Amino acid sequence: MNIDKQDTDKSRWQEHNRANLLARLDFAREAEEDTLFTEEWNGHFVAVTKEADTLRLWLIDQNADDTDWVQSILRVNDPLFLPMSYTQAMMLALLWQPTPERIFVSGLGGGGLATVLHHHLWQTRIDCVELSPPIVAAAIGCFGFAPDDRMHLTTGDALEALVNADPQSYDILFLDLFFDNGETPEHLVTEAFFQLCHSRLRPGGLLTMNLSAKGPEFYGRLMPLAQTFATLHTCRGHGSTQVVFATDLLAGTPFDFTQQAIALQQEHAFPFPFVSWVTRLVEQRLRLEPPL
User: How much is the pTM?
Assistant: 0.93
Confidence of residue 67 (pLDDT cuts 50, 70, 90): low
- Residue 241 bridge partners (DSSP): 212
Task: Give percent of the chain with pLDDT exceeding 70.
Answer: 90
* Residues found in the chain: 292
What does the radius of gyration of the chain's CA atoms come to, in whole angstroms? 19
Note whether 235 and 274 are within 8 A (CB). no
pLDDT of 189: 80
- Per-residue H/E/C for the chain: CCHHHHHHHHHHHHHHHHHHHHHHCHHHHHCCCCEEEEEEECCEEEEEEEECCEEEEEEEECCCCCCEEEEEEEECCCCCCCCCHHHHHHHHHHHCCCCCCEEEEECCCCCHHHHHHHHHCCCCEEEEEECCHHHHHHHHHHCCCCCCCCEEEEECCHHHHHHHCCCCCEEEEEECCCCCCCCCCHHHCCHHHHHHHHHHEEEEEEEEEEEECCCCHHHHHHHHHHHHCCEEEEEECCCCEEEEEEECCCCCCHHHHHHHHHHHHHHHCCCCCCHHHHHHEEEECCCCCCCC
Domain layout of the chain by residue ranges: 79-284
Lowest mean pLDDT among 42-46, 51-55, 159-163, 166-170: 42-46
Q: Which of 232, 225, 125, 130 is nearest to 176 (CA)?
A: 130
Lowest mean pLDDT among 35-44, 105-114, 187-196, 235-244: 235-244
pLDDT greater than 70 at residue 72: yes
Pairing of strands 44-51, 54-61: antiparallel
> Up-side HSE of residue 95: CA atoms within 13 Å toward CB?
33
pLDDT of 259: 97
Task: Give yes or no for a cis peptide into 107 (omega within 30° of 0).
Answer: yes
pLDDT tens digits for 273-286?
Answer: 999 999 999 999 85
Superfamily classification of domain 79-284? Vaccinia Virus protein VP39 (3.40.50.150)
pLDDT tens digits for 205-235?
Answer: 999 999 877 666 777 788 999 999 999 999 9
pLDDT tens digits for 143-187?
Answer: 999 999 999 999 999 999 999 999 999 999 999 986 544 566 677
Confidence of residue 292 (pLDDT cuts 50, 70, 90): very low
